[in-house]
């Protein structure tokens, strides 16, 4: 029996590493193995900012990968948490009873959905703000060079 609450929290906390995909679909899930790649690239972008400073152009592209990956996993956690028990059991517990307790929504599920909404929205907005700010500051610097 796959538990909806556990899947919601795994998606929220371990989603960028693909943990929820392995829990729900098994170790043969290709997407579960691909999810850590943008996470690692985004973490490399954070490392580049620490090493080279905020003017590193490559980090402007790498850091949003991490933010978008975290935000997508947060959205997935919200979808899992808000799924009806019947739909959950039909999709992830097909051989079990449609009214099985694995798809029930409890307070831990609600807290998981709320946490995913709060944290992942903040991460997405921060990623977008960082990228756009750095890009537009770069455009202003280049315009000043041209005008002189």
Per-residue pLDDT tens over the stretch 109-140: 999 999 999 999 999 999 889 888 888 988 89
Distance CA 13, CA 96 (A): 27
101 pLDDT tier (thresholds 50, 70, 90):
confident
106 pLDDT tier (thresholds 50, 70, 90):
confident
State the residue for tokens 């003017």: 55
Q: Poorest-confidence range of 4-8, 24-28, 103-107, 115-119?
A: 103-107
Residue 1's SS3 state is coil
Q: What would the pLDDT profile of 13-56 be if each residue is shown by its tens digit?
A: 999 999 999 999 999 999 999 999 999 999 999 999 999 988 88
End-to-end Cα spacing for the chain? 68
Q: Interior CA angle at 37 toward 51 and 71, to 5°?
A: 90
pTM (two decimals) = 0.85
Helices (H), the chain: 4-14, 19-25, 30-34, 36-52, 57-82, 85-92, 107-147
């Amino acid at each position: 029996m796959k538990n909806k609450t556990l899947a919601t929290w795994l998606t929220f906390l371990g989603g960028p590493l693909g943990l929820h995909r392995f829990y729900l679909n098994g170790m043969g899930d290709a997407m579960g193995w691909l999810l850590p790649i943008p996470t690692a690239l985004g973490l490399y972008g954070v490392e580049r900012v620490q090493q080279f400073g905020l003017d590193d152009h490559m980090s402007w592209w790498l850091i949003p990968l991490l933010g978008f990956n975290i935000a997508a996993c947060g959205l997935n956690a919200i979808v899992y948490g808000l799924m009806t028990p019947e739909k959950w059991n039909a999709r992830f517990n097909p051989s079990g009873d449609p009214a099985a307790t694995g798809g029930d929504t409890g307070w831990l599920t609600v807290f998981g959905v709320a946490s995913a909404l709060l944290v992942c929205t903040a991460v997405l907005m921060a990623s977008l703000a960082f990228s756009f700010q750095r890009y537009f500051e770069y455009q202003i610097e280049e315009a000043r060079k041209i005008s002189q």
